[in-house]
Chains A and B, each alone.
Chain A
Amino acid sequence: MSNDNNHNKIIRVENLTKTFESKKDSLHALKDVSFSIEKGDIYGIIGLSGAGKSTLVRCLNLLEKPTSGKVIVKDKDLLALSKEELRLERQKIGMIFQHFNLLAQRTVLDNICLPLEIRGIPKKERQAKAMELLKSVGLESKSGAYPSQLSGGQQQRVAIARVLANEPDILLCDEATSALDPQTTKTILDLLLDINRQLGITIVVITHEMRVVKEICKHVAVLDEGILQETGTVSEVFTNPRTHAAKRLIYMGLSEETEEEVAKHVG
């Protein structure tokens, strides 16, 4: 790969392997995965349950430490960073989760303040900023509420406002809409699209829902049993899936076909 091709890549994953060792055996969750993501892209990673999607995305901010391989974010090899450097780098790689992961004992506003507290921003300033962010996700009336008083969609909005507080360059989403109903999913996806367009944040979306990918992603990677099967633009991969794994996933996801019909397609 020449440098010309690399300079607009915000994330590069090279020969990534992750093996979970247990006493009895070792589980190869990721096998020699390589791909890269362009700055400003919305990149989907799809695969069946257990394919290794979460493991992969968690390697992108080193929540999970790869067994081997490289994760290069903004030209920095994350595995070569010191603890302190990694900590600062993580502030620019936001992450949202399937179960929102808000602090239950803090109000909505104080939840959004957390990343600002971590960065040592003075109280007045951070509350003003948090309020502004809360407005941008349309929840200013809920500033004093606790997460338990919000719906799932509202909680995910708060989580998005919280992640934006650090003005990240990258946003990792691990099944961010999987706990939500279709209608709410749509509003969250629209919000993610807005964020991508207006703030230029590169978004990585992990999902097992094909419609999420079709709705917002430009590029997509298909992961199956820890192996990256194929990558490409969403239209390429969805209209002309080349691998068995991709065909199975896409034909199953596109329509409400039964297993047998899928089998016919896949041949």
Chain B
Amino acid sequence: MWDKAMIDMLLEGIKDTLYMTLLSTFFGYVLGLPLGIALAVTDKEGIQPNAVIYRILDFIVNIVRSIPFLILLILVIPLTRALVGKSYGPTATIVPLTLAAAPFIGRMVESSLKEVDHGVIEAAISMGARTRTIITKVLIGESRTSLLVGVTIVLGTVLGYSAMAGVVGGGGLGDIAIRYGYYRYETEVMIVTLVIIVVLVQLLQWLGMLLSRKLDHRKK
């Protein structure tokens, strides 16, 4: 059973999974980072409170986040087709993964930015900083370790979701696990695939924590 074809397939699965995870996380941040910033800034304790904008964004985030991923995946098939040209395979899966990740990322970013000491923000305001400068230099600069921890959590979550997409032929390790474990009863292959998924998540987690600890200067 463990012939070259099998190993090649697993390697291909790892490649596809990482491809989906990394790209979806990247596009997720393209949407989620501005979203999170907007949430943190317009919150009533934020630097530019705006109840209307906050409530609208908050509502959208909650709605999208409460849709189970598999349902979201099916719901956005028309969009996926329009963007990618087909609705299955790793590249197509990036579309629903990105949409699922964005509001989650928005919340993570929002909570990271809200951790920044209000006194430091006031110091920047008292220096005559623009809102834009406060966002980039104070909010993001001061919360960068927390943001990085957020990235590792997002990577792990997106990787998990990408495996779920295997159910509908999303490609990657999840796809392999489903095909072999569920349809063909080759439990061994499924277990090996799962172990690889767990190891990947651990690796990402470990890397992220290492990096964020290196970048953190709050303690000696």
A and B part of one assembly:
yes
Give min CB distance, A98 to chain B, whole Å.
9
Task: Please report whether the interface of chain B is mostly helix, strand, loop or mixed according to DSSP.
Answer: helix
Neighbouring A residues of B216 by C-beta, 8 Å: 105
Q: Is the CB of B119 within 8 A of A97?
A: yes
- B188 sits at the interface (CB 8 A): no
- A91 sits at the interface (CB 8 A): yes
Chain B 121-144: CB-based contact to A (< 8 A → 1; otherwise 0): 011111111100100011001101
- CB closest residue in chain B, given A95: B126
Q: Is the CB of A101 within 8 A of B119?
A: yes
A94–B120 alpha-carbon span in the complex (Å): 14
Within 8 A of A (CB), among B166-220: 215-220
- CB closest residue in chain A, given B215: A105
- A87 sits at the interface (CB 8 A): yes
A88–B144 alpha-carbon span in the complex (Å): 28
Q: Is the CB of B142 within 8 A of A63?
A: no
A105–B138 alpha-carbon span in the complex (Å): 9
- A146 sits at the interface (CB 8 A): yes
Q: Is the CB of A115 within 8 A of B127?
A: yes
Neighbouring B residues of A97 by C-beta, 8 Å: 119, 122-123
- CB closest residue in chain B, given A107: B217
Neighbouring A residues of B215 by C-beta, 8 Å: 105
Q: How many residues of A contact B (CB 8 A)?
A: 31
Within 8 A of A (CB), among B56-96: none
Q: Is the CB of A114 within 8 A of B127?
A: yes
Chain B 146-166: CB-based contact to A (< 8 A → 1; otherwise 0): 000000000000000000000
Contact of A95 among B123, B138, B219 (CB under 8 A): B123
A93–B123 alpha-carbon span in the complex (Å): 11
Q: Is the CB of A99 within 8 A of B119?
A: yes
From known contacts A103-B138, A105-B142, A146-B217, infer whether A118 and B126 are also in contact, taking CB-CB under 8 Å. Answer: no
Q: Which residue of A114, A147, A148 has the most chain B CB atoms within 10 A of its CB atom?
A: A114
Give min CB distance, B113 to chain A, whole Å.
13
- B8 sits at the interface (CB 8 A): no
Q: Is the CB of A101 within 8 A of B123?
A: yes
Contact of B220 among A99, A114, A119, A149 (CB under 8 A): A149
A115–B133 alpha-carbon span in the complex (Å): 10
Q: Is the CB of A103 within 8 A of B120?
A: yes
- CB closest residue in chain B, given A116: B127
A61–B129 alpha-carbon span in the complex (Å): 13
Contact of B142 among A91, A103, A166 (CB under 8 A): A103
- B45 sits at the interface (CB 8 A): no
Q: Is the CB of B117 within 8 A of A101?
A: yes
Q: Is the CB of A118 within 8 A of B130?
A: yes
A129–B36 alpha-carbon span in the complex (Å): 35
A89–B168 alpha-carbon span in the complex (Å): 60
Give min CB distance, A186 to chain B, whole Å.
24
From known contacts A99-B119, A105-B141, infer whether A91 and B128 are also in contact, taking CB-CB under 8 Å. Answer: yes
Contact of A90 among B120, B128, B133 (CB under 8 A): B128
B: residues with CB less than 8 A from A are 117, 119-120, 122-130, 133, 137-138, 141-142, 144-145, 215-220
Beyond known contacts A104-B120, A114-B127: 6 more, CB 8 A cutoff: A90-B127, A91-B127, A101-B122, A101-B123, A106-B141, A118-B124
